[in-house]
């Protein structure tokens, strides 16, 4: 963003900033989709979990989603494990 301000909104830097904003927008969208998928897995299993566990996992998923949006990271690979 500093490059954009320093350039006076002219020349290549604004285009680079717009391109980076578009990339960020796509990454945020993908993070939201993954977070939604994880939430579906959690809520599908919530009847077999104590309420406190559901609450804590919801907080974990929200934190992972926020972290992924901010700096990238892993998506949900959660699957049900039958023991």
Domain membership of residue 81 (yes or no) is: no
Instruction: Determine the pLDDT at residue 6.
Output: 63
Query: What is the tens place of the pLDDT at every residue in 14-40?
Result: 778 788 889 988 888 888 888 888 889
Domain membership of residue 77 (yes or no) is: no
Between CA 43 and CA 6 the distance in angstroms is 48
Domain membership of residue 47 (yes or no) is: yes
In the predicted model, what is the mean pLDDT of the chain? 76
Instruction: Determine the pLDDT at residue 34.
Output: 84
Query: What is the tens place of the pLDDT at every residue in 4-17?
Result: 566 665 666 777 87
Instruction: Tally the domains of the chain.
Output: 1
Q: What is the pTM of this model?
A: 0.57
Between CA 83 and CA 77 the distance in angstroms is 18
Instruction: Determine the pLDDT at residue 1.
Output: 63
């Amino acid at each position: 963003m500093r490059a954009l301000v320093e350039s006076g909104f002219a020349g290549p830097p604004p285009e680079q900033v717009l391109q980076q904003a578009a990339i960020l927008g796509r990454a945020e969208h993908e993070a939201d989709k993954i977070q939604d998928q994880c939430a579906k897995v959690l809520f599908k299993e919530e009847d077999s979990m104590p309420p406190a566990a559901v609450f804590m996992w919801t907080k974990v998923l929200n934190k992972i989603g926020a972290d992924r949006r901010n700096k990238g990271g892993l998506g949900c690979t959660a699957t049900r494990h039958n023991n």
